[in-house]
Amino acid sequence: MEPTISFFSGFGRQDILFMAEAAWRTLLISTISIAIGTILGTIFGWLLYEGRIWATLFLAPVLDAFRSVPLIIQLVLFYNFVPIIGLSLDAFQSGLVILTIYTASLVANVARGGIESVGKPMRRAARSLGMSYWQDLRYVVLPIGTRAVFPSWVGVALGVLKDSALVSVLGYVELLRASQILMTRTQEPLLIISIAGAFYFALSYPISRYSAKLEKRWSQ
């Protein structure tokens, strides 16, 4: 009688390392997209606040579209559209582009709210002291507006960190995709999902704690 061949194996040390590497991939794509998206979103928010005609007619609808359409649809459409126009982007690059634009669309509203939180009397006072428009933005609007909207920005950053799991639909092996692979092989979904949740917590908790300490320091 021939021995039974098993296609499944137990969860081992190498699987933990595999998930740790996937967690690093999650952190990598999230950090880059949040950093670049925050810079772009701040610029977009400023343009929307200024009320330029082209920003109102073109930029605002585009940002609304990225905020409104589910992220997974954006990822799939972009990944399949890129080869049509002759570009060659892998899953990481495609996911990074969409996550960055998605982040920028969310941050744009946050940034505009931060600028609007600085009262016009304060800005007029700054101009009366001889500050230029750009000095007013740098020394008055940026410090005050940042403190006002920092909690909202942290919420956006944490949301993007978790939403990066959707890049798995493109084949990018981040934490969720790695968990799916291991669940198929080991048939231990509860254990693997618990470990994945612990990794997500380990990535998110330091951001929450540091932001809370920073807000407390600013309030003193």
* Residues 49-72: tens digit of each pLDDT: 887 777 778 888 888 999 999 999
What's the confidence (pLDDT) of residue 10? 67
pLDDT band at 3 (very low <50, low <70, confident <90, very high): very low
Q: CB–CB of 171/22 below 8 Å? A: no
Query: Pick the residue with more confidence: 138 or 74?
Result: 74
Furthest-apart CA atoms within the chain: distance in Å: 94
Domains and CATH numbers, the chain: 13-219 (1.10.3720.10)
**Among 51-65, 100-114, 151-165, the least confident range:** 51-65
Residue 94 scores a pLDDT above 60: yes
* Residues 182-201: tens digit of each pLDDT: 888 878 888 888 988 899 99
What's the confidence (pLDDT) of residue 85? 83
Residue 129 scores a pLDDT above 60: yes
Structure tokens at 74: 């954006």
Could you tell me which residues come within 8 angstroms of residue 48 by beta carbon, excluding any fewer than 6 positions away? Answer: 55, 56, 59, 60, 63, 108, 112
* Residues 19-35: tens digit of each pLDDT: 899 999 999 999 999 99
- Mean pLDDT, the chain, rounded, equals 85
